[in-house]
Structure 1
Amino acid sequence: MTRNSSDTKEKLLDAFDALLEQHGTAGATLDAVAAEAGVSKGGLLYHFGSKAKLVEGSLERLRRYVDADIEQMRAAELGPHVYYLDTAAETGTPLDRSLIAASRLAQEYDEARDALGETRVQWFDALNDHLGDPDLAMTIQLIGDGMYLNQNFGLSESEALGHVKNVLARLGL
């Protein structure tokens, strides 16, 4: 039985991201990542020769997830703004886990801060391209940010999205 190299890389990145979420960068050591993934340290080093390479791999994966999300946003039947708000408070998704990992990395790595900034710009651009109003696009993005933060801190009101959609309907959106 042949091992699939990309499966092993994804398993290692999953382990790295999970450790970042649970323990921060200090707890996401090479030894801990290998153990969490069920891979030997040599196997980890074969795919990612250093922690810096793991960081790079994690951020590259974030970019892939964001690119896919932007595609779905732009293709959404009800428009990117509705898609953005509908998905803003989703937790536990691969994109969510990747964003949390990047947020942890951003405390120490400039490239993670840059990747998160690029993500925000991409979402904003998709919203602005659709709405044609940068102020409205930013307002939608900030509402989504608030919904995400509330969800992640257990403060979410189950009716929040309904309230937002009612206001958007009154605005003709």
Structure 2
Amino acid sequence: MSARDRILDSFEAILTSEGERAATLDAVAASAEVSKGGLLYHFPNRESLVAGLLDRLRTLADGDVAAMSAAPEGPALYYVASSRNTGSPFDRALIAASRLGWEKHPEASETIRSIQRRWLGLIRAEVGDEGVTQAIMLLGDGLYYNAAFGGEGFAEPGSYPLAELLEVVRRLIATAPVRPGPPTPPAEG
């Protein structure tokens, strides 16, 4: 693994476990086991470190959106089924970016909103009904939030009856009004 990737991994880990204030350049360098000069070689300042994290997140999101778009079960079922924090590189980058102070780092909030808009667009194109689309997004978001941030209340993180939740999504999709298809060309004759 390159020093650059170790630095980004350390930045993500500190953001996730301790928050933005703890993610100083010194702390990131120590965690990545590089000198501060080594860190500054790759990331000349804190803003470039944040930009590196967001670039990584966008790249990982591109892969997730491509997988969602190509999912044989469809985007809606893919979205809900994948709405669990599995500790994947994408999950780590997404959670770390969400821990950045959004007032201080508006690019972080815009990056996350952009990813959400892409997911929403795929589900909307599949389902065709705005209410059902929003319900599916909120179901997935709630599952992810609860798993990623240790939410309490209705279920232990990771113990959701996924098969039953996916069946709920299938029923929601089935209740969506049928969208008219493309116009049929007139018959020649």
TM over 0.5, shorter chain: yes
Q: Deviations over 1:36-95 (max 9, x none)?
A: 111111111011000010001101111111111000000101111111111101331111
Match of 1:145 in 2: 141
Match of 2:124 in 1: 128
Q: In 2, distance between residues paired with 1:159 and 1:94?
A: 22
Which of 110, 113, 116 is the aligned partner of 2:109?
Answer: 113
Match of 2:55 in 1: 60
Match of 2:179 in 1: none
Alpha-carbon distance, 1:169 to partner: 3.3
Q: In 2, distance between residues paired with 1:26 and 1:137?
A: 36
In the alignment, structure 2 segments of 5+ residues that lack a partner are 176-189
Which moves more between the two structures, 141-150 or 103-112? Answer: 103-112
Q: Which amino acid aligns with 1:141?
A: M
Match of 2:78 in 1: 83
Q: Deviations over 1:10-50 (max 9, x none)?
A: 11111101111122111111111111111111111011000
Give the number of equivalent residue pairs. Answer: 168
Match of 2:169 in 1: 168
Q: In 1, distance between residues paired with 2:92 and 2:115?
A: 14
Larger radius of gyration: 2
Q: Which amino acid aligns with 2:106?
A: D
Q: In 2, distance between residues paired with 1:40 and 1:168?
A: 50
Task: Give the aligned CA root-mean-square deviation in angstroms.
Answer: 1.8
Which of 96, 100, 107 is the aligned partner of 1:101?
Answer: 96
In the alignment, structure 1 segments of 5+ residues that lack a partner are none
Q: Name the structure with the higher helix share.
A: 1
Q: In 1, distance between residues paired with 2:91 and 2:67?
A: 15
Q: CA separation of 1:29/1:157 partners in 2, compared to 1, >3 Å: closer, same or farther? A: closer
Q: Which amino acid aligns with 2:120?
A: F
Which of 34, 39, 44 is the aligned partner of 2:34?
Answer: 39
Runs of 4+ in 1 over 6 A off after TM superposition: none
Which of 2, 10, 15 is the aligned partner of 2:5?
Answer: 10
